[in-house]
Structure 1
Amino acid sequence: MGNLRSHLRPLNTHDRAIATLAHSPAANSPIMATKEATDEATRQRIVKHMNTEHHDSIRRYVEAYASRSMFQSRSAKMIDIDLDKMVFSCGGQQAVIGLDPPMTTLRESRERMAKMDKDALETLGRSDISITRFVPAYTRPAHLWNFTQCLLAFLLLPRAANWQPGSPIYDYALFMVPSFANFVAQYGWLIFMIMLPIHLIEGVIMVMRLAKHGCTFLDGVWWKWVGTCFVEGITSFWRLDALIEERKKEKEAKRH
């Protein structure tokens, strides 16, 4: 203790002034202000990026973690993010999603939100590929041929008179194969009745597949996919599969 006292001396006026300044709020205010400004800029950048580039993820967040419906989530937007929560506007209301455990810095947000999106996909039974584009049958000649034949079958098969003498089809073409024309005139309605439920089932399957990719009847492309599927059947699924594969490759390319 004697040695310790020998090294201690009373604070003079200059020392007290320095100590007071070091512990005053004003000494730290420029640093704190800079940090707060940086955090606010980071926060705004995250919010803007999510709303612009990742609206699909935002929709999944509010559906999986805030119990909003697929229809309510269509208008969802991120309005704020903090270390312990994300705040969204959704259908005129706010949805607050807590982050557990809280982040230690906003720099963790990218990794945290990517993990939450992956978990949301599993919870909702969805794919990370969203269907926002329609590929028409005329982009592939074979698909257009199938679409045309199926459409003509739906329009012409139910009415026997379309296949009998006096109809344009018979007078310009089928008169050369009267036995075939007579067969279709007798049994065309039966073929139509077989086609109808098959194509209805294919339409239902298309609806379920589109739902997995976040596409509902509120989207214009939904009506195009389902409508063409009802007419042409399997070839519409081939185009949808090709579109999904294309989107997957685009995602992989962005990662690299």
Structure 2
Amino acid sequence: MATPDSQDLAARERILKHMNADHQDSVQRYIEHLRNASFFQVRDARMTDISLTEMRIRYSGKEAVIPFEPPMKSMRDARERLVQMDQDALQALGRSDITVTKFIPCYVHPGHLFNFSQCLVTFIAFSRPSHFKPGSLLFDNLLYRTPSFASFCLKIQPFLIGIMVAIHAFEAAGMAKRLRKHGLTPLQMTWWLWVATCFIEGITSTWRLDGLVDQKRKEKEAKKH
């Protein structure tokens, strides 16, 4: 027959394995919230121990001891206590309970692909004024037929590219803020894919992100029933 001590030891091992394998984002949030650490500092956060009175988390070469107040009565209380602490961290950090882990490319929506393509072509064409002068690939293969239009594009080139960069940079910054709310940081490739495509295409990328978040929220709500 298993003794209480052996049962607690087995429960401790299960909790540590589960939290580090399936809920590392929660472990990171505990440290961000309770130790005011940055996303870079908590990138390798791992729960190393848990007892009825405290848990220990190692991150960036440090070890944080986080007490349970009040102490738990048994290891069976761990799930409820850890979930509540994560909810407290989400609220304090201004984060969403929906974590984004994947990127949705523009080509899954024809309209988004069209917008991405148009923006990318415009960025490339207007990146240099020489593109609208004789000797360039664009002029010699296309614009030579409409020299007046090429002249017009040459005049507006510095203004148009400047406005586009400013607007799309603002939208990309907004995307980065939204991604942080949903658990993504610059340490992840998924973050770069979302931000880079947002800089090129703008608002259509945020529509895809919103759709992904709505889908994950519905799936989460469905599991409650």
Q: When the two structures are superposed, what TM-score results if normalisation uses the length of structure 1? A: 0.80
Identity of aligned residues (%): 49
Structure 2: give runs of 5+ residues left out of the alignment: none
- Structure 1 residue 105 displacement after superposition: 1.1
User: Who is 1:152 aligned against?
Assistant: 121
Partners in 2 of 1:178 and 1:42 — Cα distance? 77
Partners in 2 of 1:226 and 1:100 — Cα distance? 40
User: Who is 1:98 aligned against?
Assistant: 67
Deviations 1:103-136 (A, max 9, x none): 1111111111111111111111111222221112
Partners in 1 of 2:46 and 2:77 — Cα distance? 20
- Structure 1 residue 192 displacement after superposition: 1.4
1:44 to 4, 8, 13: 13
Q: In structure 2, what residue type is equivalent to 1:220?
A: M
User: Who is 1:57 aligned against?
Assistant: 26
User: Who is 2:80 aligned against?
Assistant: 111
- Structure 1 residue 186 displacement after superposition: 2.2
- How many residues are matched? 225
Q: In structure 2, what residue type is equivalent to 1:142?
A: G
Deviations 1:151-183 (A, max 9, x none): 111111243443355544445544555543332
Residue correspondence of structure 1 range 135-150 to structure 2 within 5 A? 135-150=104-119
Shift of the 113–154 alpha-carbon distance from structure 1 to 2, 3 Å rule, reads same
- Structure 1 residue 198 displacement after superposition: 0.7
Partners in 2 of 1:249 and 1:80 — Cα distance? 34
Q: Which has the larger radius of gyration?
A: 1
Cα contact 1:66–1:97 (8 A) shared by 2: no
1:180 aligns with 2:128: no
Partners in 2 of 1:145 and 1:131 — Cα distance? 25
User: Who is 2:90 aligned against?
Assistant: 121
2:52 to 83, 86, 93: 83
Structure 1: give runs of 5+ residues left out of the alignment: 1-31
Q: When the two structures are superposed, what TM-score results if normalisation uses the length of structure 2? A: 0.90
- Structure 1 residue 81 displacement after superposition: 1.2
Q: In structure 2, what residue type is equivalent to 1:96?
A: V
- Structure 1 residue 255 displacement after superposition: 3.0
User: Who is 1:209 aligned against?
Assistant: 178
Alignment root-mean-square deviation, CA: 2.0
Residue correspondence of structure 1 range 161-172 to structure 2 within 5 A? 161-164=130-133, 167-172=136-141
- Structure 1 residue 60 displacement after superposition: 0.7
Q: Secondary structure at the match of 1:97?
A: strand
1:231 aligns with 2:197: no
Q: In structure 1, what residue type is equivalent to 2:191?
A: W
